[in-house]
Every structure is written in structure tokens, then in C-alpha cells.
Amino acid sequence: MKKTALVFPGQGAQTVGMGKQLFESSKAARDVFESADSALDIELSKLIFDGPIEELTRSNNAQPAILTVSIACLRALEEYLGEIMNRVSILAGHSLGEYSALVASNSLSLDNALSLVRRRGELMQIASEKTPGVMVALIGIDFESAKDLCSQTGAEIANVNSPMQVVLGGSKSAIEQATLIAKDYGVRRAIQLEVAGAFHTSMMASAQIELAKELEKIEIAEAEIPVVSNSSAELIKHPESIREELKIQTCSTVLWNQSVLLMAENGIEQLVELGPSNTLSGLTKRISPEIEAISIQDLDTIKLLARSDFMNVEN
């Protein structure tokens, strides 16, 4: 049996109507949407399916919405294929997606994860308004060069997405300066991101402090399947290690490139991205081409997976 990882996308993956086919075709997925509505005491499903996109994109809505669709996708996959978690060796998620991974590992309950990410989104929105910042994706720069660029400009590394793609965050002036001199480091493109603030930088410090208080109230169990830490690109399972990871994650760099390399080092041969995105599976192909990576977003792709040998017990 091939060693398999499941991964989950982060904020920015939201689209109006995401997960609707799953809701209509899978009882297990529908149960997740209904649980989310009940846990948050809002019509989250209606917002996901009908929008408007401006409201869905707000961090306090986007984060629980993406988590809901991601877990609905997982439950639909389980409904269609039967028990799959005994075929999974590692779980991971990008930023917000780490919470989805922890739900999949039975470390966090769905209700607790939803309340946490909704509060996380609120706090990040408040921090963004209090300390305005921007983010830019740089294509054609490696991690070490990006660190040097930041040391000159005051920008910070928010995400290391692939060997030659790094996202910077910081004040508008710091990012403008970094973008201006980025060509000196071989950057081919600089893409300004449509986000509310400088996520995963020190500008989120106020959000991190308040979220840490919320995390002290939440029950966290030992992960049944190890989860890759965003901040260290190491496997974690123990409840207190997970709690500490979530406490620092808001301001820490998302080491996605290093996380995929860790999965490869641990023998992962196939990777399934679950949720409203194919970004992580695409990045995986650039980081470790030897890993076969696909994305599952709806019942059609679940059926395609079922007809392949991708997650069969015997290949």
C-alpha cells in the first residue's frame, strides 16, 4: 500500500457555492454543514452557497466556511470509500488548513475547531484594522534570498510555498520597498494578494495573544495520525505540542515547502488535497514531483478517486 497524506487548504480558497454538490449528494457532507450552522448559530451554509462573496471573504466567515467544506469533503470521501483513515500516514494543512487536519486526526472536535477559527478570523480582522499591512507573493526567489531581502526592508516571510515562491507580509512601505528591489534577487513576478492584512507576521501579535487565551479553554486530544506543524515543519501528536503550535501559528511563517519535503522524507508517495482548492496539490508537484498529488473537491472527483487505485488497501 502506498503511503498517503491528506492535506487541507487555507484562507483564500473560498468561492460562493463551494461544497454545494457535496451537500446535495452526500448525507455525511450535509451533516457537517448542518453541524457547522448549529455550532456557530449562524446560517453559514446559506452564506457559503449564496454569498455575497464580500461577506464570505471576511476572515471570520471565510475561515469556518473553508474548514466546513474541507471536512464535508473528507466525510463524503469516507462515506463513498469506507474507512480511509487507516490508510493515511500523515495529515497537514496550510495555515487555517492545519485546523482541518487536526479535526481529521480527532485532536480537535469539529465544534471546537469551528468556534476557534471563527474567533481567529475575528481577531485577525481586528489586528488588520489596528495595524494595516499587505502581502505580496514573489515568484522566482528562494528562502535564503527572501530572508536577505527582508533584512533590508523590514518585510517578513509569511509563507514559503515552494522552492521558488515566497510570500512576504508587512507594512505598505516595507512591501513596496521589497517589491522594488526584488528583481535584484531574480524575482520574475510580484503579485499583491487581496487579503485584509499581513497574516503570519508580527503584525498579527494582538490576535495571537487573544487566541492563545481561547486555546487554553479548548480540549485537545492526542492526534491519532501525526500532523505536520506549519511553524516547524515537524510531525506533532501530543496535545500540548498541538496547543503550543496553534498559539504561535498566527504570527509564524507557514513552512509549506519544508512540510512537503518532510512528508517525502517520511515516505509519502501520494497526497490528496481535500477542500475547495487545488493549490496545495499543485505546489506539491513542484516541491516533490515524485509524490503523486490530486485534489478532491466534489462527488465527481471522489468517484474518480474510487475508480483508481489511489487509496485502495492493495495496489
Residue linked to cell 473528507: 74
**Residues in CB range of 82: below 8 A, 6 or more apart:** none
| 95 is a catalytic site residue | yes
Rg of the chain (C-alpha set): 19
Distance of CA 266 to the CA centre of its chain: 21
Residue type at position 87: R
Long-range contacts of 99-103 (CB under 8 A, 24+ apart): 99/67, 99/246, 100/8, 100/66, 100/67, 100/70, 100/71, 100/74, 100/274, 100/275, 101/6, 101/7, 101/8, 101/227, 101/228, 102/220, 102/223, 102/227, 102/242, 103/67, 103/71
Residues 26, 59, 89, 95: which is the catalytic one?
Answer: 95
| 94 is a catalytic site residue | no
What is the four-CA torsion angle of 120, 126, 129, 130, rounded to 10 degrees? -120
φ/ψ of 238, rounded to 5, equals: -70, 140
Distance of CA 183 to the CA centre of its chain: 29
Residues 107, 128, 200, 277: which is the catalytic one?
Answer: 200
Residue type at position 26: S
8 A C-beta contact, residue 61 and residue 15:
no
CB atoms within 10 A of CB 286: 15
Catalytic residue positions?
95, 200
